[in-house]
Structure 1
Amino acid sequence: MITTLLALALQAVTIPDAPQQPVLEPEERLEARLQALQSAEEGEAADIAQEVLALWADADSATIDLLMERGEEALIAGEADLAARMFDHVNRLEPDFAEGWLRSAQIAQARQDWEFSLQALNRALTLEPRRFDAFYLLGRTLEQANRPEAALEAYEQALEIYPAYELAEQNAARIRARLRGRTL
């Protein structure tokens, strides 16, 4: 009896259809989020940037995702050699995956291997020229190589893509001030 009453009640209730949002392919979503990043306010921009980074980190391959995860875990555990091996495997298996090259560049920078860091960053930026995080890391690497003008250019590239990128802005401002001091 209760089931019959419930069935009748459910038939009488009409739930309006929710408007259907189009399902975007990952590249379309990435493009939309990068466009949103251009005009986003600082707080919102950080959330959008994290979403963009997550989209870039998705390899669409269980093997690559596992290697990346193990590499990240090794970095957190302070095992840079193991992390470097994991990211090297990623780069060999999926040479067109910019995230693997970026992670390799980060490790190379930490080891002060500027040459390999620059090569890996060049590869990452060739594969994905919208990588604001790669431009930021390039700026840091160029600063370490005592090339402030080139570092400033890299930070400015990052800011063109992600105008509210606080770390890039701070570093760019510091270099601008230092370069102005040279000309006085």
Structure 2
Amino acid sequence: MRFFASLLTLILSLATYPLSAQEAARPKAPSKDEAPASRPAPKPVTLDDLFDRLAKAGSEREAEGIANLIERRFSRSGSDTADLLLSRATEAFTEKDYPLAIELLDRVLALQPNWAEAWYRRATVFYQIDDPVGAMADLHRALKIEPRHFNAWTGLGHIFMASDDKASALEAYRRVLKINPQETSVQTIVTRLLPNVDGQDL
């Protein structure tokens, strides 16, 4: 009898045990309204990251893909108006309407004077209309803003080659290869130039 009396006392005490304490003793099931713990957002890829990957690329194909990503970044100024004008200048250049391309690029540079890509694009137009002095000046402006602009270094190398300044051309092409070692067309030019420069102190 004492056993059953003790058991009854235990049952009654459990029945009156605080509900919150009973819930705390049980594992809590996740609520349907509770969102699962979110993973931290991936770190955005910076231009520095892309250049680091370009320098370490293991093949020409890999390097080409990374270079394309860099060129896309170069082509964005942060201004919708400037980006639109650059797009129209590119269309004019494609259609060989060089005066219009220069006019549009002048307007772009008035809006975004620190945009290396715009200086590079205008240099390309100047080169097409046989103005190497204007082209070289714009390429230097582009490289002052973005020293890793491999297309600007390539353009500079071509202008030096056209003026028969092979030592300066070699230096420009070497700068390209320092940024993008997998650029085979530039590697070929450098290989051909080396015997002509004869190991001059550049």
Give TM-score, length-normalised by structure 1: 0.82
The yes-or-no answer on 1:29 pairing with 2:60 is no
Using the TM superposition, give the Cα deviation of residue 20 of structure 1 relative to its aligned residue in structure 2, in angstroms: 4.3
1:18 CA displacement: 7.8
Aligned to 1:156: 174
* The one of 45, 69, 74 aligned to 1:56: 74
- Runs of at least 4 residues of structure 1 off by over 3 A? 16-21, 177-180
> Highest CA radius of gyration, 1 or 2?
2
SS state of the match for residue 123, structure 2? helix
Give the counterpart letter for 1:58 in structure 2: R
Match of 2:117 in 1: 99
Q: Secondary structure at the match of 1:44?
A: helix
Q: How many Å apart are 1:81 and its aligned residue?
A: 1.3
What is the identity percentage for the equivalent residue pairs of Structure 1 and Structure 2?
Answer: 30
CA distance, structure 2, for counterparts of residue 23 and residue 69 of structure 1: 30
Query: What CA distance in whole angstroms lies between the structure 1 residues aligned with 2:182 and 2:40?
Result: 32
| TM-score normalized by the length of structure 2 | 0.75
Query: Hey, what does 1:123 align to over in structure 2?
Result: 141
Unmatched tracts of structure 2, length 5 or more:
1-30
Instruction: Give, in angstroms, the shift of residue 55 of structure 1.
Output: 0.5
Match of 2:152 among 110, 119, 134: 134
Q: Which amino acid aligns with 2:92?
A: A
Higher helix share goes to which structure?
Answer: 1
CA distance in 2, matches of 1:157, 1:142: 14
Partner Cα distance (2:163, 2:152) in 1: 16
1:70-118 CA deviation, whole Å, 9 max, x = no partner?
Answer: 0011111121111111111111221101111001111111222111111
Q: Secondary structure at the match of 1:155?
A: helix
Q: Does residue 1:42 correspond to 2:57, yes or no?
A: no
User: Aligned pair count?
Assistant: 165
CA distance in 2, matches of 1:158, 1:47: 16
| SS of residue paired to 1:143 | helix
Deviations 1:127-153 (A, max 9, x none): 001111110010001111111110010
Greater CA deviation, 147-156 or 112-121?
A: 112-121
